[in-house]
Amino acid sequence: MSAVEPPPSDGAIVAKPLPRVVAHTDGGAAPNPGPGAWAAVLQYGGHAWEISGAVPATTNNRMEIQAAIQALRALNRPCAVELHTDSDYLRQGITSWIHGWKRNGWRTSTKEPVKNRDLWVELDELSSKHQIDWRWLKGHAGHRWNERCDELAGAAMARQRREMSGTQLREAMETFKRSGLA
């Protein structure tokens, strides 16, 4: 409140509305598993920011989660976020399945360890800082910002392939498979 604005007469604290951000995310690996990339477009106040990155050995699902993580990491304060993804795995995982996973010690309903637990834990922590409306949209259906994320991820994946030799990519894949994350 400003110095000239009196407090509410009932003593209630008036909270400022959170800044509203619209985020679109996408990720993938080609082949799956293989070299992968993620991308996000964040919109706030009439501006759009594009971010992307690549990983030499990963899966589609890991890159979808990573795209959401990176979008939320880019926010420097709590926000009301409308996050669009074409990954039902991501949307269902963070809005529904994660509650059972945490209750069951990061085990699925069939008692198997949750895949991508490391990323789910990070996404859960980042999500707790914001008010997020997770929205699914059909991929490759002409949605401007989803298509842009797909282009950005594709370009990041292409850069990764140019920067690493075939031998380096194969070694990265072997290390990834040994990690148990594949």
* DSSP conformation class of 6: P
Known catalytic residue: 64? yes
State the catalytic residue, choosing from 24, 27, 34, 84.
27
Task: Extract the tokens encoding 132.
Answer: 């997020």
Known catalytic residue: 100? no
State the catalytic residue, choosing from 34, 86, 93, 130.
86
Known catalytic residue: 47? no
Known catalytic residue: 86? yes
What are the backbone angles phi and psi of residue 128, rounded to the nearest 5°?
Answer: -65, -15
State the catalytic residue, choosing from 36, 64, 84, 130.
64
State the catalytic residue, choosing from 118, 133, 140, 163.
140
Known catalytic residue: 133? no
Residue 177 identity (one-letter amino acid): K
State the catalytic residue, choosing from 26, 34, 53, 130.
26
Question: What is the C-alpha separation between 122 and 127, in angstroms, rounded?
Answer: 9
Question: What is the C-alpha separation between 80 and 149, in angstroms, rounded?
Answer: 21
Q: Which residues are part of the catalytic machinery?
A: 26-27, 64, 86, 140, 150
